[in-house]
Structure 1
Amino acid sequence: MKKIALKAGVTAVALTLASSHVVAQEDSARSMEKVVITGSNIKRLDVETATPVEILRREDITRLGVNSVKEALETLTSSTGALSDIGGSNSFASGASAVSLRNLGKQSTLVLLNSRRVAPYALADYNEVFTNLDSLPIDAIERIEVLRNGGSSIYGSDAVAGVINIITRSDFQGVQASASYDQSVKNEQFKTKKASITAGFGDWVNDKYNVLANVEVFKRGEVLWRDVVDDINPGYGKQFSAVAPGSGLMFGNLGAPSTYSYPGNLIGQGAVPGCATVNSAGLCVYDRFSRFEAVPKADRVNGLLSAKFDLGGGTEAFGEALYSHTKTSYTSAFNTYGSTNPNAIWGDPRTGGGKSFIYQYLPATHPLNTTGEDVEFRYRFADAPSYQDATSDQYRVLGGVKGNWRSFDWESAAGVMGSKTKLRSAGAISDSGFKQQVGDYNNFDPDTFSVRDPNFFNRGYQIGKVNSPEVLNSLFPVNGYDGKITQYFVDAKLTGEVGKIADRAINIAAGAELRHEKFKIMPTDNLLQGDIVGYGSATANASRSTQAAFAEVSLPVTSTLDVTAAARIDKFPGFKAHTSPKLAAIWKATPAFALRGTLESGFRAPNLTESAQSSKFAFDNGVVDLKRCPQARALADALRAQSDALPDSDPNKALGLARADTVEGNECAAGVPSVVRNNPNLKPETTHMGTVGFVIEPVKNTNFSLDYWRIERKDEIGIKTTAELLAAEADQAPGTIGRADLSADKTFTAAERQTYGVTAGALTSTNGSFLNVARTKTSGVDVSANTRFNTGIGRLDLGANATYLLELKNFSSSLNRYGDNLAGRYGYSKTVANVTAALKTGDFSNSLRLIYQSKTALNGDYFDETYTAAGCADLGWSADECRIKAYGRLDWNVSYTGVRDLTVSMFVRNITNRRPPLDLRDFDSAGGVIPQNTADVTGRSVRITAEYKFR
């Protein structure tokens, strides 16, 4: 009893601190109950286990001032960048948010709700299937338990980098309403509103039942860059002309306008009549920043209903229903047309062949063209529909019973869960619609490159005029995807004591799980037909059934040494049963000091988009054809030399130079269709991981822990790039690389092929499948320190958590070895830390939280030469600009409970209004026009929350 009382004292401190590292209950009375902690199926009295678990309690989440589960998980030091609905409009899974731990990706972190899986988002992000965090209600959460190493031995596939178990409230009685409003002080356009109501009735002790219902509504407003671009870091304006001081004076201070405008420009002639804004050169300009979106509009409704009933005799029935509806509405930039734009390259999924959209000059026959010759035309389709809406419905319904039999507790449940997502967008050009409403861009004179259609841009669509909805819908049709996932499951488990070692109980857990899933992703017909210019497509239609059995035993070898062994066997169709073992031990050397460690193996089974019926059609641009590019460059050099020798008055000079560019572009910067299909022969990704560390309590109410972790993942599922395939073309299976017949060569004549030694036809496509091609290894240290003591004015809690990344390396198949250590490189800070101080004084609670990230270089792995020191110098960036400086942010939260049943809180994020550090790479890689970091213009923000409990 003394040991248990001591551990309760240790963990009572930690549980009250934001993001604290905890493994026990908050008071000594509750610590006497057996509980199950994430990472084990065995109930324990002493919950200080060998496996490091981090817990965010309800009061911690309040102090964090977050509006969603996604924001809460981003505060973890082990959390690394993952998909967000805010910046995900260009992903295959727009409208969703995910989490990643240990830099291992969003589908290597398993998310649970009340210790059971939730349905994945119904659109895969290319091949990644993940849980949409936006579908989970934050106000219904009691706590979040984070297992910071793998959990495949307990939970099966996907639990590679860690497990996040979201536990909802239980035994709640009464009605509680909550509302919050979050707004930037710097730019009021950034605002979020959230409201919820929670109701519970039935006293579990007296009434033998309890029912809980929660409904949560979330709304976020849209923010466009035009409204906030003037407040971006001035450092960007020093390097990028689009946001240089005074660049947007016609529409603001920053944000240069574009000559791709409405109603457009004829270069050499001037603005098209009807232009509202003309620059000093007489060209029509358009405020493109008015359509660049910083934050999309979002609307969400989440609902949770749970109930439990005492059936007598120690048996309990329980049920749960979860439903969410989310909609993210993206504003898209209007499509542009420019005669000198590079050709748009894409392909036809039906044939696997490539397609090319050629931007043409406005012909001399067009009524707007008064020059008497073809003229360069710049235009923006500002009358087109241009948007993307992602709407998703997700649900989970389950029911079960649990009870006890002799010395065992048992539990069984069955349920169904699913997700339906509808993604629709408009604004991209239809190939067939353009030919109908504008003209056939492929019908041109090969010698002069002049379009042959005299009515080009003078058909159904009229430049700068009012066009009918029928014309616009034909030219810019709606396209998108419909995704649907359905999963059914049955599970059962048994836990209890099977014997003793001396007077110490040996506990076991065993169980089984059956699961069936169906996954379908279907593009609209125009995507399937390759009719949307520049767009690929992805399809999936598959199902499978899986089975699993698991067992776990806890052996109290001595009074101070506890060893736990666990294993789980998962059987997926198409490959042998996979066993995931785990061994963990904790040695409590003294009442104040414990050593702990784990060794385990994990795995991720190929998902249905990787192993079952699916296909993805995309396009690789800028491809260098190793068999034709050297010859093309030699021919281009010869053509240029011949042209340079001609007088400027000779029309063949311009034609020769133009052909030289075309020859080189065709073979040294080619656009090649890429078809990737599922692979039924994939192996699971496997992981070996281990942890070792200690926990110490030098004095009462003060503790410190340190854990070293290491993870190595093999057989990672991915694809070989086009460059990799071409580098080893002779080794590829027939049909992997498609080439045209030499007789159909459009680059070289027969004589030129003879002269330059061209023996291979032009690239037409690459065909591949998902493969086990990669490996990753990573290691680091997690540190946690907590203390609590009374001051003269109240109780003060201090806590600190930090993750130090020692190593992160990706295997290079071309080098046949691991690449550089990415710790401290772009995107991978070595140190991430949080420090919290909370003071309780009467009816007031105040807390301060410091968030810290260490500096990083701008370059990535060994092949990333653009942003090395030499690369930055070539770009004109200083050594100081060629890195991301360390950053710290200070937040403050205050709560007041002086009015009965009412809690009012104010959270101030970034109280010092400090900018995030300059990130020139982020801006540059996005094109050097659109800012990427909304935190830069959000600055300080305030969140007010009121919570009232009705009695």
Structure 2
Amino acid sequence: MMKETVLSRSVRLMFSGSLVAAGLLSAPAMAQQGDQQIQRVEITGSAIKRIAAEGALPVQSLSKAQIEQTGATTVADLVATLPSMQGFVTSSASVNGSGGGVQTASVHAIGTSYTLVLLNGRRIAPYSSGSAVNLASIPLSAVERVEILTDGASALYGSDAIAGVVNFILKKNSQDANIELTYNRPSKGSAGATSNVAISKGFGDYEANGFNVMLSYSHDTQSELNASDRPFSAPGGVHPYSEGGKNYSLYMLSSNSIPGNVAVKDGSKTLASFNPGLINSGSCGAPNTFKVGNRCLFNYGATVELLPELKRDGFFVNANVKINDNLKFFAEGLYSKFTSTARYAPPAQPLSLDINSALFKANVVPALVKLGVDPAKVKTATMNLRLVDAGGRTDGWETNAKHLALGLEGTHFGWDWTTAYVHSENKAIDNAVAGYTSGDKLDALMKAGTYNPFIVPTAETKAALASAVLHQELDVTTSKIDVLNLRGSREIFQAGGGAAMLALGADMSTQKYIDEPAPIAMGPNSLQPNWTDTNVGGGTGSLPVDSSRKNWGAFAELVVPVMKGLEVTGDLRYDSYDAVKNKKNFDSAGNLIAPATQGDSASKATYKLSAAWRPVDNLLVRASYGTGFKAPILTDVTKPVVNGGSSGFHPCPITSGPLLKLCNGNAEYGLLDGGNALSGAGGLKPETSKQATIGFRVEPVKNVSIGFDLWDVKINDQIRKLPENEVFNNPAKYMGLFSSYYDPIQKENVLVASLTPFNLASSHYQGIDWDHTFGLNTGMGKFTFNWTGTYMLKANQQALATDPVEGSVGRFDSYNDVVFRLITKGTVTWKQSDALTHSLTAVYKSGYHDMPLTEDDGAIVALNSDGSIGDYVGLKRDVKSYTVWDWQTRWKFNKNFTITGGIKNLFNTEPPFSQRIAGGGNQLGYDGRYTDPLGRQFYLVGSYKF
């Protein structure tokens, strides 16, 4: 035990980071007199056990009370409330936006893969082959506090901690029983409502009984929210709006429609592109379809979910056993099952059409005659279908997370030490719930005349197609890590300002990633040469993955109080990574060959220097400079070349040559995806970074705390696949990436672009974080104002060394992302009495330049004076700023029973309109990654402790 002085306690409270919950870390707490007995603790970003004030790190600390004040119901919701967080994956991205049921964290918009997430200071299994963790697997009810380090920490934690660290500290050493019930409901209806029940119980007093066991269970649900549930999203891809005094409409429609469209060719030349149902009947007839020329186009954006249905069950156990006064055994286990059921538009698929079939003769030939096209000249035909009868494509993304940590913690020979073994795994399953369709069964139904895709859907056509709809697993991935670590710290000598402290540590780990696609997700390949079925509306051409890698690292940290008020810290770490072992090794033709060790082994030394200077009691000045690195993820090396799905809509990039015949005008084209298994000069090497911070904390008067931090991060040799838009918008530059690929679903050759990772890119991020707290005691109670924020100065990326630098701050960039110039949060808290506390919170996000669209994008039309559709046009515009106000009242009846009620989005502010057509999920009319579509919500939380 150590004495905490008034000075160290004051600095500790200043140093607590963002002070997110106004008033809970206010200045009066700093003014308490007298010494207190506190334990040495290990704070995020340091391996030395000490009083939390003694470092020079920009750590934001959220207590349980602060977490509750945010009104967050999930860990992902909590992360989204922090101004320092940008660029994370939201649940809306699972709606056909590559989210895959995942929700992540990202410090300073630097990226999910550069933000290390820890559980009780230890690594947790990622959701894929890298390091990014699915926050949905962590139950918020089990979290006691959160520490966010907004500075690079590779010199302590190794790879991946370039942007910062988010450390979730779970409950422990409690004897109470707690029951907590939460219900959150939008004012516009039950769609999107959430509920939670959490139960926990502790057994044994660690000091009195020599042990403590903590058990916790929680169940969370959120109902789906559909585009039709909100006026700003209900129009989907046909969304009128005004800009600069002129009227336009988003006109983002798909050629994959119902009834199906057809394109016929005489070999290489397109003879006609039309909708047989429209030509034969005079109208499109089906819901969400629009007549454009001789075709029917489908408004897919009107059929999607804004938020998927979510369910989570989480179990947590923590045990501590006192072996003796100097030695403790600890164990912690977490099991979580999370399901995200995401639905988007019905299956959309181009398919080849047999010109000798009855289907062609009965539906297409009469239309050709009406159009004046000689059917005898037709050599090939392709139909663009939208299988509305199959229902919306619905993925049941199921994540099963298991985490076990066993260890010893003790004090011997002057060392505070701990050793632990961690086994953590994450199993993700993609289940086809609805919409996806068997290609073989669909083909058989059409050949038999049972199903006709060229007529308007009815109950009969839905019944006819039902037997072809898939209800099965599509893919199963398993990610595992096993870690053994040992670390210790102690005082080693007396310096001018006090005892210098040293920490030493080492860790060894093994990471394994397995991907087991279902046969229908693979399609015909060398593993199943006689397989014929494909997933219409989904991907095909997947291949299994079984990769692993071992690595070890060692570090040292030295803290020296050079003189009174000046402390200098140095960190040094060395990491060694093996090359990747690939048990499922495929050649470029997709044939399984002998297992191999691929890529390069790598080693890296990183360091960090930091200093904290306290010239007077109420001022802290701090600075740091360090280096970091990030190892290539497993699949960057070993992923076989597979079908990467469809691109967005692009003009055909080919103007001449043999590939020209594969052009379909402004359309979706194919993508090939794979790893880089090369060694040597052509192989992947670790990304490297340099980061620096300088800041201060000052308390000029009682009840006032002001803090600023300027930070800077530069990353080189970033592993990147060229952005899809970059490749298609600059075809001459990337012509070598385009090729012909036989698509087993379409049963014909299609134009594809290959996207392979290399150490191509660099980036530079810079910004200012601040946190201020102002307190005022009155006869009505205590008022506290807390103001936090992040102002981005730079978010620059360079795809290639020869390319110009692209700035992303305040604009929709070529990577389809936005970095907000300013995100700020202010909270006024009124502590009316010990029992009653009220708070009002405002969160502001600055506006930005919207996704620029050109006439060739075919996404915006000018509206004529009579409201009719005009020509396709290009448009540059700005998205408005977004401010949301929240209210909360907390009533503590007694020490055991508390009720909290609140209103989120008090003024029911709708998300600002955006014309973006890429990035995130399939929602249109706004950007679901940066705004909340739920609108005003009322919530109630009841907590009882006994």
TM range (shorter): 0.7 to 0.9
SS of aligned partner of 2:487:
strand
- Report the Cα offset of residue 728 of structure 1: 5.6
Alignment partner of 1:919 is 2:911: no
**Structure 1 residue aligned with 2:866:** none
**2-structure distance, mates of 1:80, 1:277:** 34
- What is the aligned counterpart of 1:831 among 813, 817, 822? 822
Alignment partner of 1:600 is 2:626: yes
- What is the aligned counterpart of 1:571 among 561, 572, 576? 576
Alignment of structure 1 residues 244-393 onto 2, 5 Å = 260=258, 266-270=277-281, 291-335=303-347, 343=350, 363=359, 365-366=361-362, 381-384=387-390, 386-393=393-400
**2-structure distance, mates of 1:235, 1:380:** 16
**1-structure distance, mates of 2:856, 2:464:** 47
**2-structure distance, mates of 1:631, 1:924:** 32
Q: Give 1 or 2: higher strand fraction.
A: 2
**1-structure distance, mates of 2:728, 2:291:** 45
Instruction: Encode CA deviations 1:90-132: one digit per residue, 9 max, x unaligned.
Output: 24451121111111211110001110011111x46xxx65201
**Structure 2 residue aligned with 1:4:** 5
- CA distance change for structure 1 residues 17 and 841 in 2, over 3 Å: closer, same or farther? farther
- Report the Cα offset of residue 599 of structure 1: 0.5
- CA distance change for structure 1 residues 427 and 605 in 2, over 3 Å: closer, same or farther? same
**2-structure distance, mates of 1:553, 1:383:** 66
- Report the Cα offset of residue 586 of structure 1: 1.0
Alignment partner of 1:591 is 2:583: no
- What is the aligned counterpart of 1:410 among 417, 435, 446? 417
**1-structure distance, mates of 2:356, 2:230:** 36
**2-structure distance, mates of 1:46, 1:926:** 41
TM-score by length of 2: 0.79
**2-structure distance, mates of 1:366, 1:763:** 27
**1-structure distance, mates of 2:855, 2:388:** 40
Instruction: Encode CA deviations 1:54-109: one digit per residue, 9 max, x unaligned.
Output: 11111111111011011111111110032122331324451121111111211110
- CA distance change for structure 1 residues 213 and 360 in 2, over 3 Å: closer, same or farther? farther
**Structure 2 residue aligned with 1:639:** none
Alignment partner of 1:892 is 2:908: no
**1-structure distance, mates of 2:603, 2:290:** 69
- Equivalent residues of 1:42, 1:495 under 8 A apart: yes
- CA distance change for structure 1 residues 181 and 926 in 2, over 3 Å: closer, same or farther? closer
Gaps of 5+ in 2: 262-274, 372-381, 525-533, 580-600, 743-747, 863-869
Of all paired residues, the percent bearing the same amino acid is 23
**1-structure distance, mates of 2:482, 2:237:** 53
SS of aligned partner of 1:437:
helix
**2-structure distance, mates of 1:276, 1:38:** 54
Of 490-499 and 884-893, more deviation after overlay is shown by 884-893
- What is the aligned counterpart of 1:433 among 422, 441, 445? 441
- Report the Cα offset of residue 670 of structure 1: 8.9
**Structure 2 residue aligned with 1:535:** 539
SS of aligned partner of 1:584:
strand
- Report the Cα offset of residue 38 of structure 1: 0.7
SS of aligned partner of 2:69:
helix
- Equivalent residues of 2:160, 2:629 under 8 A apart: yes
TM-score by length of 1: 0.79
**2-structure distance, mates of 1:419, 1:928:** 28
- CA distance change for structure 1 residues 57 and 203 in 2, over 3 Å: closer, same or farther? same
**Structure 2 residue aligned with 1:96:** 102
Instruction: Encode CA deviations 1:630-678: one digit per residue, 9 max, x unaligned.
Output: 5799xxxxxxxxxxxxxxxxxxxxxxxxxxxx85836997945524223
- Report the Cα offset of residue 14 of structure 1: 7.8
- CA distance change for structure 1 residues 852 and 623 in 2, over 3 Å: closer, same or farther? closer
**2-structure distance, mates of 1:692, 1:924:** 34
**1-structure distance, mates of 2:853, 2:38:** 51
**1-structure distance, mates of 2:440, 2:90:** 34
**1-structure distance, mates of 2:288, 2:212:** 66
Gaps of 5+ in 1: 248-254, 338-342, 345-355, 440-453, 634-661, 742-746, 748-761
**Structure 1 residue aligned with 2:73:** 67
Instruction: Encode CA deviations 1:208-237: one digit per residue, 9 max, x unaligned.
Output: 211111111101112222233478799984
Amino acid at match of 2:490: G
Alignment of structure 1 residues 146-161 onto 2, 5 Å = 146-161=148-163
- Report the Cα offset of residue 724 of structure 1: 9.5
Give the number of equivalent residue pairs.
Answer: 848
- CA distance change for structure 1 residues 265 and 370 in 2, over 3 Å: closer, same or farther? closer
Of 547-556 and 907-916, more deviation after overlay is shown by 907-916
Of 463-472 and 170-179, more deviation after overlay is shown by 463-472
Amino acid at match of 1:805: M
- Report the Cα offset of residue 592 of structure 1: 1.8
- CA distance change for structure 1 residues 391 and 297 in 2, over 3 Å: closer, same or farther? same
**1-structure distance, mates of 2:463, 2:871:** 49
**Structure 2 residue aligned with 1:420:** 427
Amino acid at match of 2:893: G
**1-structure distance, mates of 2:494, 2:901:** 52
**Structure 2 residue aligned with 1:34:** 40
- What is the aligned counterpart of 2:407 among 387, 394, 400? 400
Alignment of structure 1 residues 792-807 onto 2, 5 Å = 792-807=779-794
- What is the aligned counterpart of 2:513 among 514, 519, 536? 519
Of 321-330 and 567-576, more deviation after overlay is shown by 567-576
- What is the aligned counterpart of 1:558 among 547, 560, 563? 563
**2-structure distance, mates of 1:925, 1:511:** 40
**2-structure distance, mates of 1:907, 1:790:** 24
**1-structure distance, mates of 2:441, 2:932:** 41
- CA distance change for structure 1 residues 9 and 616 in 2, over 3 Å: closer, same or farther? same
SS of aligned partner of 1:938:
coil
- CA distance change for structure 1 residues 740 and 709 in 2, over 3 Å: closer, same or farther? closer
- Report the Cα offset of residue 704 of structure 1: 1.1
**2-structure distance, mates of 1:285, 1:774:** 38
- Report the Cα offset of residue 205 of structure 1: 2.1
**Structure 1 residue aligned with 2:588:** none
**Structure 1 residue aligned with 2:897:** 902
**2-structure distance, mates of 1:201, 1:212:** 6
Of 388-397 and 678-687, more deviation after overlay is shown by 678-687
**2-structure distance, mates of 1:903, 1:484:** 41
SS of aligned partner of 1:920:
coil
- Report the Cα offset of residue 624 of structure 1: 7.8
- Report the Cα offset of residue 304 of structure 1: 0.8
- Report the Cα offset of residue 885 of structure 1: 2.0
- Report the Cα offset of residue 900 of structure 1: 4.9
Alignment partner of 1:191 is 2:193: yes
Alignment of structure 1 residues 409-808 onto 2, 5 Å = 409-425=416-432, 426-439=434-447, 464=458, 466=460, 472-474=466-468, 478=472, 480-502=474-496, 504-529=498-523, 531-533=534-536, 535-536=539-540, 537=542, 539-574=544-579, 575-612=601-638, 614-618=640-644, 629-630=655-656, 663=661, 665=663, 671=669, 674-680=672-678, 681-720=683-722, 722=727, 727=732, 769-808=756-795
**2-structure distance, mates of 1:195, 1:948:** 12
- CA distance change for structure 1 residues 468 and 946 in 2, over 3 Å: closer, same or farther? closer
**Structure 2 residue aligned with 1:641:** none
Amino acid at match of 2:695: G
**Structure 2 residue aligned with 1:755:** none
SS of aligned partner of 1:596:
strand
Alignment partner of 1:47 is 2:53: yes
**2-structure distance, mates of 1:518, 1:237:** 46
